[in-house]
Chains A and B, each alone.
Chain A
């Protein structure tokens, strides 16, 4: 269809700035995830794109045209809500059919009793029935069409909400934490189904979540938001391997990235990696980029506080000496087991070490002048 451009979007509620100058281009057909902690403005941004809320500054453009004065229904977007927002008094069929009826039938034809008098209506209703049934079959809810939403399970309601969104073939799908009310197992399953749906429909998806795992597994690109600002927009791998901000590094990845301050790093006797930037104050590394090593130069000393066995991996929670905090080290289950209380030495792969300054900005490693 067309690219969606957000240009310096701002939104205030009273004195609090919820969205603070966000600019972002979402390509046609892309699966973009907005991820961030609750209250970071991501849902508000989604509502602004939908036209449900008006921004206080900036512009939303679709295919180069400003859509700020278009009402939600004129924007050709569909939305799936966290609470599903199904109409409880209508059957599943009527829930899915509603967006088609409002678009194809005139106001008079939609009236409860009078509407039946219009001869045109029967043909349209027949077409609508076919389309609703097709959408329902695609989402595996065809056998539930006569039920009310109250009689469905969480997963089924979610599918009906998806059906209501997709039945009219919108150019853009907006999803506001659609999976957070589901249990863990169903969430993983629906994750796969939504990505499959994206592939099949080939339209733009904008997906809001606070769950970094959803962001990482589903999206083409992830936009990390915090405090109303966009911190970084990148494909998941880049976000994980090459975060430009310490807050991004900490949000993406589970367990969380390890952070050791430069002063502690030196005190611990960690090898001074070549090319430390002058302004670097914090060093960060992923749990898998560290390993347990024998005592020796260039390792961080500490003791194992606890272990978490996930079957495929064992995570060691290590408390560093010198009060440098705690880190997590990923080890292979076949490696020699460490137990709580054991003293250990941790070696960090220097090539994977990331440097951040006091503002949390990423500092590129200098060319290894010293080496």
Chain B
């Protein structure tokens, strides 16, 4: 019995390790390529670690040949603006859908659910036309505005808000808080884990997004990192694989760092709210 238990455990771990390796392999390869000199990249035999360390050169080229800092800064700004706008819209919407009673609430919520099913690609052309009409193409607004309303965010927060007991809201009303203060002073702090989860989804999605920036933006000076890398590739196809991989590693790094730093807090945040 115990032997079988151990065998099962080993099998489970082997399976998990294989899946993890599968997911990590491209990433490892990217890092490996980003520190190799050009001639080594195209060699027939493969080593993980280069015989000649070429990391400094590759990363230097990545930073100097393209305005990498501009890209990173743009990415940061666009993601922050998108998330802020999303919160400003989603939190009050979710509160109304979860906690207020009014005619047509269920219909509106059904509309949100339908909104969840519509792929963003389907809206690309209407968005593009709208932005063209308002003369906003190739601006920061073009990168930000189409994402200001997130059906997913409304849905996620509404589900979380519903779990907060009505008594707390009643108490707040008796204590003299207005509806907006209830939202920002009571509901938002109480749903920190849900906001964090939504924040991760939102920031990761828009930091990595290539599809929409490719449509909306042409100038390098307002490009987001993913688009920047693409522009970079256009310039120097083929031979510049090392610096290209270095650039890719650079744009992935901020997300990884942010996750590593915040990981602990997310888990703590979840633990606090479950202890009522």
A residues near B (Cβ < 8 Å) are: 47, 50, 52, 71-73, 77-79, 81-83, 85-89, 98-99, 102-103, 110, 150, 164
| Contact in complex: A150, B272 (CB < 8 Å) | yes
Q: Which of A79, A89, A103, A150 contacts B171 (CB 8 A)?
A: A79
Q: Which of A72, A87, A164 contacts B186 (CB 8 A)?
A: A87
| Contact in complex: B168, A99 (CB < 8 Å) | no
Contacts of A89 in B (CB 8 A): 189-190, 192
Given A88-B273, A150-B276, A73-B170 contact (CB < 8 Å): no
Q: How far is the CB of B270 from chain A (nearest CB, A)?
A: 13
Interface of A is mostly: mixed
A50 to B169, CA, bound (A): 13
Apart from A79-B171, A86-B171, A88-B190, 8 more pairs, CB < 8 Å: A50-B174, A73-B174, A73-B176, A81-B167, A81-B170, A83-B167, A85-B165, A110-B181
A50 to B170, CA, bound (A): 9
Given A81-B170, A81-B171, A102-B275 contact (CB < 8 Å): no
Decide yes or no whether B149 CB sits under 8 A from chain A. no
Q: How far is the CB of A161 from chain B (nearest CB, A)?
A: 8
Q: How far is the CB of B241 from chain A (nearest CB, A)?
A: 49
Given A73-B175, A73-B176, A99-B175, A85-B190 contact (CB < 8 Å): no
Q: Which of A73, A87, A103 contacts B173 (CB 8 A)?
A: A73
Contacts of B177 in A (CB 8 A): 73, 98, 102
Instruction: Type the 1/0 row for B161-203, where 1 means its CB is closer than 8 Å to any CB of A.
Output: 0000101101111111100010000100110100000000000
| Contact in complex: B176, A103 (CB < 8 Å) | yes
The count of chain B contact residues (Cβ–Cβ below 8 Å) is 20
Q: Across the two chains, which residue of chain A brings its CB closest to B176? A: A102
A82 to B165, CA, bound (A): 11
Given A85-B165, A88-B190, A52-B174 contact (CB < 8 Å): yes
A285 to B199, CA, bound (A): 66
Q: How far is the CB of B194 from chain A (nearest CB, A)?
A: 13
- 16 A-B pairs in the complex with CB atoms less than 8 angstroms apart: A52-B173, A73-B175, A73-B176, A77-B174, A78-B174, A82-B167, A85-B167, A85-B171, A87-B168, A88-B272, A89-B189, A89-B192, A98-B177, A99-B175, A150-B272, A150-B276
A103 to B172, CA, bound (A): 12
- What are the 5 tightest A-B residue pairs by CB atom distance, in nearest-first order? A102-B176, A85-B167, A85-B171, A89-B189, A73-B176
| Contact in complex: B168, A85 (CB < 8 Å) | yes
Most buried by A among B171, B190, B272: B171
Most buried by A among B170, B174, B181, B275: B174
Interface of B is mostly: helix
Contacts of A98 in B (CB 8 A): 175, 177
A73 to B181, CA, bound (A): 14
Contacts of A72 in B (CB 8 A): 170, 173-174
A98 to B186, CA, bound (A): 11
Q: How far is the CB of B29 from chain A (nearest CB, A)?
A: 44
Contacts of A110 in B (CB 8 A): 181
A87 to B190, CA, bound (A): 8
Given A85-B165, A87-B168, A79-B174 contact (CB < 8 Å): yes
Contacts of A85 in B (CB 8 A): 165, 167-168, 170-171
Q: How far is the CB of B196 from chain A (nearest CB, A)?
A: 14
Contacts of B167 in A (CB 8 A): 81-83, 85
| Contact in complex: B170, A47 (CB < 8 Å) | yes
Q: Across the two chains, which residue of chain A brings its CB closest to B191? A: A89
| Contact in complex: A102, B189 (CB < 8 Å) | no
